[in-house]
């Protein structure tokens, strides 16, 4: 570094240091706002209130709370829908052509349809016709009915 450049740097530093210390260039203090400290202790529970000296109001039939029965009536159980997972697995295993364009829920719906038909008292040929109406070929509809009746229907 040249002497001239070194002198300029020194002069700039002295000027900057002196300017900061002069009263006219002194920074003004910003107002200080107190910050509330967070505590990690749990708040104390309020002291219990003294007991009331008033007598409790007298219970009348109008002010008496209705009594709840000791035992609530049980709901009648609805028969649960059959578990269709074994049926869907059997169809995937034995009739994969049925599952190609259908989701598991749709295959399960076919089984549920077959089970509902049987539960309603319809004969096997009538239930197979309902499955065929869903676009399932005759032989596959018969196999589908057989799988539903052995794996899902109660």
2-50 residue pLDDT tens: 555 555 455 554 455 555 555 555 555 555 566 666 656 565 666 666 6
Is 15 part of a structural domain of the chain?
Answer: no
Is 140 part of a structural domain of the chain?
Answer: yes
Residue 132 scores a pLDDT above 80? yes
Host domain of residue 111: 85-151
Q: Tell me the CA end-to-end span of the chain in Å, nearest whole number.
A: 100
Number of domains in the chain: 1
Is 62 part of a structural domain of the chain?
Answer: no
Per-residue pLDDT band at 154 (split at 50, 70, 90): confident
Is 49 part of a structural domain of the chain?
Answer: no
Is 34 part of a structural domain of the chain?
Answer: no
**Degrees to nearest 5, angle at CA 123 with 117 and 124:** 85
Is 51 part of a structural domain of the chain?
Answer: no
Of 116, 150, 119, the C-alpha closest to 130 is 116
Is 147 part of a structural domain of the chain?
Answer: yes
Stated pTM of the model: 0.48
Residue range 98-110, pLDDT digits in tens? 999 999 999 999 9
């Amino acid at each position: 570094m040249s002497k001239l450049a070194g002198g300029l740097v020194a002069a700039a530093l002295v000027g900057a240091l002196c300017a900061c210390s002069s009263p006219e260039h002194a920074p003004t203090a910003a107002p200080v706002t107190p910050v509330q400290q967070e505590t990690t202790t749990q708040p104390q529970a309020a002291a219990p209130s003294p007991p009331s000296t008033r007598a409790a109001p007298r219970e009348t039939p109008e002010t008496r709370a209705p009594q709840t029965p000791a035992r609530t009536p049980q709901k009648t159980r609805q028969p649960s829908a059959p578990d269709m997972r074994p049926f869907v697995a059997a169809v995937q295993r034995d009739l994969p052509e049925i599952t190609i364009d259908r989701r598991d829920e749709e295959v399960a719906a076919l089984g549920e349809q077959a089970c509902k038909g049987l539960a309603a008292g319809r004969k096997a040929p009538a239930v197979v016709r309902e499955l065929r109406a869903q676009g399932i070929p005759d032989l596959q509809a018969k196999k589908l009915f057989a799988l539903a009746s052995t794996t899902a229907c109660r």
